[in-house]
Amino acid sequence: MALMSRRRMLGTAGAGLAAAVPVVLGQQKSGWASSGKTPISLIIDDGGPVDAMFYMHPGYETPWIVPNAFTERVAATFERFDLHGKFTVLPMPSCLGRIDKSLERVPQEHLEGFLKIVRERIAPLFDITPEFLTHLAAYDLKSGKYQHIFEDAWISRAPLEEVIDYFVLAFQILKNVGLPAQGITSPWNSGIDVEKQYAQALAEAHWKVYGKKLTWYFLYVSEWDQPRRCTVEYTAPERGQTVVSVPANAPDIFWCMELPTQSEKVEFIHRNIDRLAPADGRPGRIRQLIEGGYPVVLLTHWQSLYHRGTGLGLEGLTALAERIQKVFGDSLRWVPLTEIARTALPAGSGSGPDHG
């Protein structure tokens, strides 16, 4: 996801749908269930060796190649606080080419360095997803050219088979660079108007490439509104496969690029950290989610952490991780997003061996 206006619209859509979506909460089956700790997970969208905002918003000023030294700082922050969650790696970032081949205007050494850090330091902590292919113009699978529509408009009208092939290519590219994907992320709110077909296409594509019984997608953000639950959106009983929709239950609290001054940005971030987890012990968003039994899933973006090369959002993430530690001690446990998705499974399902 990206773009404030689209995410706001999405949040509204999500809140409106919450009551109509059947809630499927199952027994937690993984290690943390017996640990008595509440799982918490962090979604990071739009990841890649370049800043996707540079192409999404012409005129947006940023050092558009994200230095690998920055990616290493991010990895070090994850390691320091043992953060887990989901990290997007765009298979064809900003229509520049394929990350398993080469990208226009991006030195090969830079691309390979980025992928190495993700493989060795980020993927052990964070599940990896594509965010469709480009997070920009839709790719034409037949001609190999980019179309004159964005991916959100493309999926609204694409036939099921084409969406399956599109997702297969996304998963295959990540597999080729040694980054198997556990699910998929919607660029913006792509697929929200064709969600059943989206979920089915994901099931088919993920099965073809990975043969896993559980997969999931990230589409909905509740922001500060009524939180959402994980829901089962598609099943293929003949192969025991389930597709879960996993929401983020907070807005990107580091997204402040449009604010004019540094002090306003810093204030925005600190105010948001206070809303998530007040230092004085008052209940904040995270406490609200825990007490309501909602998934504690936080959200940010690669460009928010990077913040035009300043790393302002990454500083915010450090402050947030420290605050969560201070307020919740070890009553929370950071988990990859798949562990959050698993809570939607009915007891006894999805635990068998995966196919090939």
Residues binding Zn ion (CB under 5 A): 1-2, 45-46, 187
Least distance from Zn ion to the Cβ atom of residue 348, Å? 35
Angle 262-276/312-328 helices, nearest 10 degrees?
Answer: 30
What is the closest distance, in whole angstroms, from the C-beta atom of residue 88 to Zn ion in the complex? 7
Nearer to Zn ion, 71 or 300 (CB): 300
Residue 249 in tokens = 């239950």
Question: For residues 65 and 68, what is the distance between their CA atoms, to the nearest angstrom?
Answer: 9
Smallest separation, CB 246 to Zn ion (Å): 15
Indicate the residue among 187 and 350 with the shorter CB distance to Zn ion.
Answer: 187
Task: Give min distance, CB of 27 to Zn ion, in A.
Answer: 32
Q: Which helix (H) or strand (E) holds 336?
A: none
H-helix segments, 36-179: 53-56, 68-81, 108-117, 151-157, 160-176
- In whole angstroms, the minimum distance from the beta carbon of 134 to Zn ion comes to 11
CB of 152 vs Zn ion, minimal distance in Å: 10
Instruction: Give 32 or 198: the residue with its C-beta nearer to Zn ion.
Output: 198
CA atoms of 208 and 202, how far apart (whole Å)? 10
Closest to Zn ion by CB, 30 or 156: 156
- CA–CA dist 147, 173 (Å, integer): 20
| Signed CA dihedral, 354, 343, 217, 102: sign only | negative
Tokens of 83: 């953060």
**Closest residue by Cα to residue 163 from 120, 133, 126, 127:** 133
Nearer residue to Zn ion within complex by CB, 219 or 232: 219
Residue corresponding to tokens 């962090």: 42
Q: Give the nearer residue to Zn ion in terms of CB position, either 32 or 218.
A: 218
A 10 A CB-CB count for 12 gives 12
